[in-house]
């Protein structure tokens, strides 16, 4: 019976005990999920912490038992020694130039391709998209020889062009931008066309601002791949002044492989750009991944 003196039907009565049990089960489920996520996060972050702590150890304590999770004494000198051992300033600069150029190229060109595949009607559009997707199934090792022959024929060995131009467009980037642009209403673009806006203006002023989350996701993915690229620079670069950071680390390992503290220090510095990039763009990055369905 409620406050008005009316008795609720039998099927609509709510048991306080049942509600309390449901809340307890939900709370316990949340705690279990939280603990599982914390465990996964610790497992993922442990190698990075080990790398950082190893960079602060001295060589005498590098492999000592029991394990020193907190270095004592702290050895910051390994960073300065490693930086001076090789021309890592130049290597970082080269990797930055290559990664930024490839990222900008993919953001612009993949967006143009995605815009064409979603907002224009022409014969062979579906076949073209399938062919673009098929390139994602071919690893670099398959296309490496013909790509090298083309670059050699153009005279782009030991040059920034040889490092950058072959990777200015990627099938994954086209797929990502196409999937996101499918959510942009075509009526919005048609209205801009009726108002007299050119296709280029529609692309830059309407489509690109609406695609910010997908653009950030594409930029993060592309920058990471370009920053970590090793095989291709190893093939076409022989000049020390054009070596990228992965090549510099490889050279350092072959020359100073026993100095593990310095090697770990350079590895820590090499991961900082990606950590900072994701830290500042994480919200838009997650939105872009969720909107394009890649989280599935």
145-178: b or e for each residue (b if 16 or more CB lie within 10 Å)?
eebbeebeeeebbebeebbbbbbbbbbbbbbbbb
Express each pLDDT in 93-138 by its tens digit: 999 999 999 999 999 999 999 999 988 888 888 888 888 888 888 8
pLDDT interval class at 149 (50, 70, 90) = very high
Residues of the chain with pLDDT > 70, as a percent, come to: 89
- Show Cβ contacts of residue 268 under 8 Å, excluding neighbours closer than 6 positions: 51, 52, 55
SS3 54: helix
SS3 277: helix
Instruction: Give the orientation angle of helix 245-256 with respect to helix 260-292, to 10 degrees.
Output: 150
Task: Give the pLDDT score at 103.
Answer: 94
79 backbone dihedrals φ, ψ, rounded to 5°: -65, -45
The reply to whether the predicted model has a pTM over 0.85 is no
- Average confidence (pLDDT) over 215-222: 89
């Amino acid at each position: 019976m409620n406050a008005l003196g009316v008795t609720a039907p039998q099927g609509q009565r709510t048991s306080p005990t049942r509600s309390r049990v449901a809340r307890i089960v939900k709370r316990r489920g949340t705690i279990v999920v939280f603990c599982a996520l914390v465990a996964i996060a610790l497992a993922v972050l442990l190698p990075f912490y080990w790398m950082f702590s190893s960079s602060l150890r001295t060589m005498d304590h590098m492999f000592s038992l029991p394990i020193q999770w907190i270095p004592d004494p702290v050895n910051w000198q390994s960073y300065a020694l490693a930086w001076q051992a090789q021309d890592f300033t130049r290597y970082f600069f080269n990797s930055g130039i290559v990664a930024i150029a490839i990222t900008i190229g993919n953001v612009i060109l993949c967006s143009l391709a995605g815009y064409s595949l979603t907002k224009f009607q022409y014969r062979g559009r579906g076949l073209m998209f399938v062919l673009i997707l098929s390139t994602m199934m071919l690893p670099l090792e398959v296309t490496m020889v013909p790509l090298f022959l083309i670059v050699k024929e153009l005279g782009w060995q030991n040059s920034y062009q040889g490092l950058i131009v072959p990777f200015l467009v990627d099938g994954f980037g086209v797929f990502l931008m196409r999937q996101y642009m499918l959510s942009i209403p075509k009526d919005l673009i048609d209205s801009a066309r009726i108002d007299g806006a050119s296709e280029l203006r529609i692309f830059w002023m309407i489509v690109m601002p609406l695609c910010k989350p997908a653009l950030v996701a594409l930029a993060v993915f592309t920058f990471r791949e370009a920053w970590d690229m090793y095989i291709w620079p190893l093939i076409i670069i022989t000049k020390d002044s054009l070596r990228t950071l992965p090549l510099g680390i490889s050279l350092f390992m072959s020359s100073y492989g026993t100095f593990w503290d310095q090697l770990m220090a350079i590895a820590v510095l090499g991961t900082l750009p990606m950590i900072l990039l994701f830290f500042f763009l994480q919200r838009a990055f997650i939105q872009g991944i969720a909107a394009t369905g890649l989280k599935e």
